[in-house]
Amino acid sequence: MEGKKIYSQGGRGLKDRGAKEAMIRITRKVEFSAAHFYHNPKFSDGENRRIFGKCSNTNGHGHNYTLEVTIAGEPDPATGMVLDLKELKDILQREVVDRMDHKHLNYEVPELAGKIPTCENVATVIWGLLEPKIIQGRLDRVRLYESEDLFADCTAEKNGSGR
Ligand code: NI
């Protein structure tokens, strides 16, 4: 890693040969509630029931989602921060909470139109919404919990921003 400090052989003091700051990952969490159901119009009713189980009930059901968004970068020496966390909070509010909180994901979120709103697909859509908005640092991971024991990760490696 570039941020590694270099110790002199004699062990007297440490030399910092123009080393950059250490790479840091910082995470902010936000919660929202939304409704959804799983249904593929290409499947028969029987197939929808078999594949999606109770989630196929087209009356829908709700989840309390927890979203963790991780930004990677080097802290600015002047501020000690990778990015302005207040600004990140505003971005999450604007791009995710305002768009999805207390909404029906099958009907009310244009970015999910035509997609089955699984945890995986919602995480992918959130990645697409956030990635262009992160100017300082880079988006490293979007982790979306649908419940305490289920979450999906969307990460930089697979999304072309592993700069
Ligand atoms: Ni569900």
Residue 118 resides in a domain? yes
Q: Is residue 16 part of a domain?
A: no
For the chain, the maximum distance between any two Cα atoms, rounded to a whole number of angstroms, is 74
- Residue 79, classified by CB atoms within 10 Å of its CB into exposed (0-12), middle (13-18) or buried (19+), is exposed
- The pLDDT tens digits of the residues spanning 35-67 come to 999 999 999 999 999 999 999 999 999 999 999
CA of 104 to the centre of ligand 1 (A): 11
Residue 128 falls within a domain, yes or no? yes
In a domain, 133, yes or no: yes
Q: Which domain holds residue 89?
A: 21-158
On whether the pTM is more than 0.75, the answer is yes
For residue 104, is it within any domain? yes
The SS3 assignment for 160 reads coil
Q: How far is the CA of 106 from the centre of ligand 1 (A)?
A: 11
9 lies in some domain: no
* Residue 5 confidence (pLDDT) above 80: no
Q: What is the pLDDT of residues 69-109, one digit of tens each?
A: 999 999 999 999 999 999 999 999 999 999 999 999 999 99
Q: Helix/strand/coil (H, E, C) string of 48-92?
A: HHHHHHHHHCCCCEEEEEEEEEEEEECCCCCCCCCCCHHHHHHHH
Is 15 within the bounds of a domain? no
Q: CA-to-CA distance for 136 and 147, rounded, in angstroms?
A: 30
The pairing of beta strand 24-36 with beta strand 103-104: parallel
Q: What CATH code is carried by the domain that includes residue 125?
A: 3.30.479.10
Give catalytic status of residue 102 as yes or no. yes
Whether 31 is a known active-site residue: answer no
Residue 1 lies in a domain: no
Structurally, how many domains does the chain consist of? Answer: 1
